[in-house]
Structure 1
Amino acid sequence: MIKVIINEQDRIWDSSQAGWLNGTIKELQKAGEPVCVRVLIEYGDINLCLSAGTCNNSGGGGRPLNTHENKIVEHWNRLDVEAPPLNSGKLVAFLNQIKTQ
């Protein structure tokens, strides 16, 4: 399962949610509101929470990443999803690509 949380709204991710994600982020940015996006990924041996935007981060999960989690984090970093300003296109690309991995 992949869940995307934008501020207080959340959805289980599939590619049909791209319009919701893009629209929500753009509306918040246009209104000058801070945007926090969290991506929760849970399947098999993967249990990750990645965040971008203006989120209050509480730190890591306290355990080392396994091989699969590390690959996902590397992909997140390679796409530079966290780089300001928050780019919904990068986020959608990341989500669609990890869905197929």
Structure 2
Amino acid sequence: MIKIRIADEERQIDTADTQWINQQINRRREEGHAVCVRVIIHEGGLDMVLSSANCGTNGGGGRLPRPQEEKVFDLWDQRGLNSTSFTGGNLVAFLHQIKHFL
């Protein structure tokens, strides 16, 4: 299971298309809100929650990431999702690439 949560809206990965992702992010930015994105992954040996910079902290996982999880965290960083200025395109690219880890 992979879920994408943008602010208070949440969808499964198979229903979170590019249009929905861009709409959610752009609408909040146009309204002057900081955008919080979380990707929740419980699949293929991965058990993790990734959060964008504007989400604040949620306490962390309490254990060191497994090697495969570490690669996912690295991809999150490479796609700029730890930055406050990430785009919907950054998130879409991450979601397409994450499938290689499952």
TM-score normalised per structure 1: 0.89
Query: 1:23 maps to which residue?
Result: 23
Structure 1 residue ranges (4+ consecutive) displaced by more than 6 angstroms after TM superposition? none
Q: Which letter does structure 2 place at the counterpart of 1:71?
A: K
- Is the alpha carbon distance of 1:26 and 1:68 closer, same or farther for their aligned partners in structure 2, counting shifts above 3 Å? same
Task: Name the CA distance, whole Å, in 2 between partners of 1:24 and 1:66.
Answer: 31
Q: Number of matched residues?
A: 101
Displacement of 1:72: 0.7
Contact 1:15 1:96 in 2 (8 A): no
Identity %: 37
Q: Which letter does structure 2 place at the counterpart of 1:20?
A: W
Query: 1:51 maps to which residue?
Result: 51
Bigger mean CA offset, 41-50 vs 13-22: 13-22
Q: Which runs of 5+ in 2 are unaligned?
A: none
Q: Which letter does structure 1 place at the counterpart of 2:10?
A: D
Structure 2 counterparts to residues 72-91 of structure 1, below 5 A: 72-91=72-91
Displacement of 1:56: 2.5
Q: CA RMSD in A?
A: 1.6
Q: Which runs of 5+ in 1 are unaligned?
A: none
Query: 2:71 maps to which residue?
Result: 71
Contact 1:53 1:85 in 2 (8 A): no
